A and B are shown apart, each in its own frame.
Chain A
């Protein structure tokens, strides 16, 4: 990889410091060197050296293909892109009112959202550590706003617990944490941690548990104003006479454990989902549109690739223009960066080594479904004080995600009424006609928000296995397949190199697509300049 030798030597130095001086010293050394949390992205790439008029054919105008095309053109290559769709962006995609979309099987949906409202059927959030994507957004003037992953006032819902009533994330989190703290404090006070923790540290541990768990003076987690500061109040504090806050009654640990609502708390703990997350203002496709704008001309749309050939002199790609389906066309170049999803590429005649072909054939594509629903009013804000964020449920819809913009306005709103990723329900929803997907999402969602029945207006449902340009959501590598094939997939094979989220260690993330493209063009350029 680009710059790997340099990084490795720094790592060696750090492990030496770590071994000699202990981890605290190592952490200090790391932070002073500036990369305790190290992104593989080191800023804009520089492709020094003259490509001497070499040409590159890029297949696919998603983020990977457009990244490769922009960087190669900047380095002096002649670049042309073939794209299956009639638009740029690929899975970087937003549906708005008036947009039509025909899925495999022929069902055609026209989005009926009011102007200004949208749903992102593909990627919808950007972690703060996806530095390459953020850098391109900055350079291309794509305005970002916060994506709210954790809203303490959104719901966790278990259909067979609490009489089916959704619980506020805030109170589940506080009650779970508080009672675990209480348990651990009891054990510590019974001297049962003596073997594991020194006496001095036990005193600190008790202080920490009281602070972390909202425990009272006796290390209990109870209905009082201490726990209310974490879990919220039965009646919020107000102004004037009789305005004191009233604490609510915590949910018992047994009830939380048996409800399994604790499963969802990891959705806020994962590195990929920690604050701050972002979304582009106005829809995720603002990014794809910005890339296409920077590129300008060289995208040939509605081009379905049918064969990829190569020899010592160059690459020739056969394709069919959707407007003239009877006619085979050809495009040629010295080199090819192919970002076609493996679900599609594995079906094409392709001149590559047996090893790369095996790698291309080794990756199944994930099932995923997203459903956008428009409602007459933003009842989740007006009635329930939920401003952005996500509610999680064990119902087949799995999630309800509230819009992270346009807060506190009157008028209509669109929320994400289902987000399924793998598992049985994702296949079951894919197998339905789109109108049924929408109707089922409304039906299930009404168990969490009864307002659905009154307020629902229209919806749009994208099942990724039915999407004609990808035949699936993303490369679903197994650990075994990755160990056996990943490196072969990423090699330059003659004059062809692959790029895309499938050729990254960040599957299904836009950052993976971009980092893969950057790595591919750096290696390709090294080869071109050398020959």
Chain B
């Protein structure tokens, strides 16, 4: 784990130093980029630890920054005000195993990470479920 921490700090350092030197990001594109800190993992597993950072760096890729999902030929479900999150075991199961096209994250996140991101989801985006999921719940769900 300490190696991971080191990697994470290392990337943060690179990005923090180098972004200050970056002249122009990417022309006329939408979503104009303002330099800031971002964590990058160094291997197959995620190094982000907080629920918020895991959501922003991972889940947001499909479920979007506001958790509202998106629609194309198929759809990414909205997680906002989501009654399916009421039983904490359900999102734990989905994060670990995936569902349909959604990839499983069991091998990429620790029990603590899965619990953190599920707890973040269940208390944000119009969700207000106060019973916290624990790392032990996640460990049990892996069986």
Contact = CB atoms under 8 A, between A and B. Distances in A.
Interface of A: 84, 104-110, 112, 159-160, 304-305, 340-348, 361, 363-367, 394, 396, 423-425, 427-428, 430-436, 438-440, 442-444, 446-447, 453, 456-459, 463, 465-472, 476
B72 A468 contact: yes
A443 B18 contact: yes
Contact of B25 (A423, A438, A470, A472): A438
A375 B119 CA distance: 44
A446 B17 CA distance: 12
A107 B44 contact: no
A476 B107 CA distance: 14
Contact of A435 (B30, B38, B58): B30
Q: Chain B CB within 10 Å — which of A107, A367, A427, A432 has the most?
A: A427
B25 A436 contact: yes
Q: Chain B CB within 10 Å — which of A430, A436, A467 has the most?
A: A436
Nearest to B25: A439
Contact of B26 (A345, A427, A438, A463): A438
Given A431-B61, A466-B61, A104 B70 contact: yes
B84 to A, nearest CB: 15
6 contacts: A342-B100, A396-B11, A427-B61, A438-B25, A444-B14, A466-B61
Contacts of A160: 10
Contacts of B15: 440, 443
A107 B26 contact: no
Interface in B62-111: 62, 64-65, 70-76, 98-104, 108
Interface residues of B, number: 54
A84 B73 CA distance: 7
A472 B65 CA distance: 18
A341 B74 CA distance: 10
Contacts, number: 165
B29 A109 contact: yes
Interface of B: 10-11, 14-15, 18-19, 21-33, 35, 38-47, 56-62, 64-65, 70-76, 98-104, 108
Contacts of B98: 364
Contact of A459 (B26, B45, B57): B26
Given A104-B76, A365-B103, A471-B74, A465 B41 contact: no
Contact of A363 (B11, B60, B62, B101): B101
A425 B40 contact: yes
Contacts of B26: 434-435, 438-439, 458-459
B29 A110 contact: yes
Given A427-B58, A433-B33, A446-B18, A342 B101 contact: yes
Contacts of A159: 10
Which 3 residue pairs of A and B lie closest in terms of their CB atoms, listed nearest first? Answer: A468-B72, A343-B101, A433-B31
A442 B27 CA distance: 13
A412 to B, nearest CB: 14
Given A104-B70, A438-B33, 12 more contacts: A342-B100, A345-B74, A361-B100, A364-B100, A396-B11, A425-B40, A431-B56, A431-B57, A435-B31, A439-B33, A453-B21, A469-B73
A364 B102 contact: yes
Contacts of A458: 26-27
B56 A472 contact: no
Contacts of A430: 61-62
A346 B101 contact: yes
B43 to A, nearest CB: 7
Q: Chain B CB within 10 Å — which of A104, A444, A453, A456 has the most?
A: A104
A32 B59 CA distance: 55
Contact of B14 (A110, A367, A447, A463): A447
B31 A304 contact: no
A470 B43 CA distance: 26
Contacts of A463: 61
B73 A471 contact: yes
Contacts of A346: 74, 100-101
Nearest to B47: A424
A347 B75 CA distance: 8
B74 to A, nearest CB: 4
A457 B25 CA distance: 9
A368 B99 CA distance: 18
A295 B96 CA distance: 44
A428 to B, nearest CB: 5
Contacts of A108: 29-30
A461 B47 CA distance: 24
A435 B99 CA distance: 30
A434 B29 contact: yes
A439 B43 CA distance: 21
A107 B25 CA distance: 15
A439 B31 CA distance: 12
A396 B46 CA distance: 12
B22 A439 contact: yes
A425 B72 contact: no
Contacts of B10: 159-160
A337 B76 CA distance: 25
A470 B73 contact: yes
A489 to B, nearest CB: 13
